[in-house]
Amino acid sequence: MSLVVQEVAFEMIVAVKPLVDTIAKQDRSLADQIRRAASSVVLNIAEGVHSQGRIAITRFHSAAGSASETRVGLRLAEAWGYLRPGQLSQVDARLDRILALLWGLTRRR
């Protein structure tokens, strides 16, 4: 079973990769943190898809937390001057969609 949120999460990874590559040239630790957080979004969604009940909801909550961590890591990189203003718009749009879809999944009955 594949969910729309899973596909959007993979789109987010594709959009994040060049940004992480740019950040890594200046701050490898922050780049690694963002990479791990973004990967965690996809991996927690995958776990949630194949879980039931409260465990599924917990995995989707974890994915949302990782999506927020990804966003903040990218904003930190922008604040440190590793990224130019405006470079985050594509990723932000995908993260917004992921968070909205996950919100719906955590409230399903």
The span from the CA of 49 to the CA of 59, in Å, is: 9
The span from the CA of 60 to the CA of 23, in Å, is: 27
Closest Cα partner for 64 from 7, 105, 36, 93? 105
| Residue type at 28 in one-letter notation | R
Q: Could you report the per-residue pLDDT of 2-56, keeping only the tens digit for each?
A: 689 999 999 999 999 999 999 999 999 999 999 999 999 999 999 999 999 999 9
- For 46, other C-beta atoms within 10 Å of its C-beta total 16
Please check whether residue 35 is in contact with residue 51, taking contact to mean a CB–CB distance below 8 angstroms: no
pLDDT at 2: 60
Q: Which domains does the chain have, with CATH numbers?
A: 4-106 (1.20.1440.60)
Query: pTM score > 0.85 for this model?
Result: yes
- For 4, other C-beta atoms within 10 Å of its C-beta total 10
pLDDT at 1: 47
